[in-house]
């Protein structure tokens, strides 16, 4: 059984349509759940479909870029195996331990660290603003990234693959987990407070991540994690805020009323004045 799982994920990068199923199925399911148990009433500028169209345009570009990165990931994963490089090879771990190590290392590099870096470096923040400029955070917001940010995330992901010495099956397991988690944490869904708080001790829960999307500091500079909450809790970047006090968007650097202007969002990082 376990070997069948490894075999399935080992070649999943060669089946992009199959990978797309995870993204689309998760998004459609959470889209329906948002309608049934919404966390906040989101007054979309026109309607939810128009909002989704803008965000999914960025998502499509992001997926194309990361499909290209898949080639580099395969090459790097093969290189670490051939040269015995990375934590997994240095300690000769079992397949299960290798998967666990890969998940945590990639979550740190491709989740927490790249996110933290984008907030702390002004030049990178200008690209990340596009994600935070969304005034109506829902399931479609998760992969709303400027193309340059998508490239940066790919580079940090490659660093994580090298450090872990990650085999491809473990990489694909993590990427699948990441896609589902990112959709879940951005979805406009209301969970019982006890459940959301309980989840936040292990993984990034929806309410925990919504704090990061609050429009003003210091909340914007908190809760950087992607899958696991351990990084924010251990590194002092965890914060909480009652969901009734959360306002999406940003208080400077970008006009909130232009959060669905696709061309302006694309051009924003190179504009001298905003």
Mean pLDDT computed over 44-73: 92
Q: For tokens 């909450």, what's the residue?
A: 229
Q: pLDDT digits over 229-266, tens only?
A: 999 999 999 999 999 999 999 988 888 889 999 999 99
Instruction: Provide the 3-class DSSP secondary structure of residue 38.
Output: strand
Both tokens of residue 122? 């002004």
Choose among 40, 66, 28: nearest CA to 213: 40
Which residues have CB under 8 Å from 202's CB, separation 6+? 228, 229, 230
On the question of pLDDT at 273 being above 60, the answer is no
Look up tokens 């950087």; give the residue. 224
Pair 237, 116: CB distance under 8 Å: yes
Q: Residue 274: what pLDDT? A: 43
**42 SS3 class:** coil
Mean pLDDT of 128-140: 95
Q: Is the pLDDT of residue 223 over 60?
A: yes
Query: What is the token pair recorded at 46?
Result: 């026109």
For 229, phi and psi rounded to 5 degrees? -85, -5
Instruction: Give the residue with greater pLDDT, 3 vs 28.
Output: 28
β-sheet bridge partners, residue 189: 38
Q: pLDDT tens, 154-196?
A: 999 999 999 999 999 999 999 999 999 999 999 999 999 999 9
- Domain boundaries defined on the chain: 2-270
Query: Tokens 């169209």 sit at which residue?
Result: 53
The answer to whether residues 228 and 107 touch, using CB atoms and an 8 Å cutoff, is yes
Give this prediction's pTM: 0.93
Helices (H), 37-107: 48-83, 87-90, 95-107
Over residues 103-121, the pLDDT tens digits come to: 999 999 999 999 999 999 9
């Amino acid at each position: 059984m376990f070997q069948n799982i490894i075999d399935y994920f080992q070649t999943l990068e060669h089946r992009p349509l199959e990978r797309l199923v995870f993204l689309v199925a998760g998004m459609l399911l959470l889209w329906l759940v948002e309608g049934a148990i919404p966390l906040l009433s989101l007054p979309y500028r026109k309607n939810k479909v128009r909002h989704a169209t803008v965000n999914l345009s960025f998502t499509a570009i992001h997926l194309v870029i990361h499909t290209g990165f898949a080639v580099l990931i395969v090459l790097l994963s093969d290189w670490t195996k051939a040269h015995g490089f990375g934590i997994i090879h240095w300690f000769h771990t079992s397949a299960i331990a290798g998967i666990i190590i890969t998940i945590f290392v990639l979550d740190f590099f491709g989740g927490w660290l790249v996110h933290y870096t984008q907030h702390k470096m002004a030049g990178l923040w200008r690209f990340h603003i596009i994600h935070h400029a969304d005034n109506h955070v829902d399931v479609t917001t998760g992969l709303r990234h400027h193309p340059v940010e998508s490239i940066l995330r790919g580079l940090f992901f490659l660093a994580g693959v090298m450090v872990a010495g990650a085999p491809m099956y473990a990489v694909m397991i993590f990427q699948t987990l990441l896609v589902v988690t990112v959709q879940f944490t951005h979805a406009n869904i209301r969970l019982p407070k006890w459940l959301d708080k309980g989840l936040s001790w292990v993984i990034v829960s929806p309410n925990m991540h919504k704090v990061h999307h609050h429009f003003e500091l210091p909340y914007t500079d908190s809760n950087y994690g992607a899958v696991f909450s351990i990084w924010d809790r251990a590194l002092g970047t965890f914060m909480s805020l009652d969901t009734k006090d959360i306002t999406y968007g940003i208080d400077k650097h970008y006009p909130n009323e232009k959060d669905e202007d696709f061309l302006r969002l694309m051009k924003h990082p190179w504009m001298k004045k905003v």
